[in-house]
Amino acid sequence: MAAILRSTYFTDTFQYAKFYTMRDSVERILANLGEVMWDEPESDKKNWHLWVRRNVDFSGDMTEAYRWMTDGLLARRNVYELLG
């Protein structure tokens, strides 16, 4: 068993802080995809990330992983619409 991750990263502190205030809405959109993880906006970093993590068995049929990737792309489009 291994994990697959989808990541969105920000280099703009203001944009990430704005995005972070929408955390509840973003997590509702991404809830069915797996574990949602955030960098704290106050952390001293050059980039801030939002990750979605899901365990996958790579030794078997990859249909589930491909479906997750497709569903993730569609969900991310909804998340990006929040930023206007």
Helices within 1-84 (DSSP H only): 13-20, 23-30, 63-82
Confidence band, pLDDT 50/70/90 cuts, at residue 38: very high
Tokens of 16: 């990430």
How far apart are alpha carbons 84 and 60 in whole angstroms? 39
| Residue 22: predicted pLDDT | 94
Q: What is the average pLDDT score of the chain?
A: 88
Query: To the nearest 5 percent, what fractions of the chain are helix, strand and coil?
Result: 45, 25, 25
| Residue 52: predicted pLDDT | 93
**Which residue, among 72, 75, 73, 82, has the nearest Cα to 15 in the 3D structure?**
82
Average pLDDT value for residue range 3-20: 86
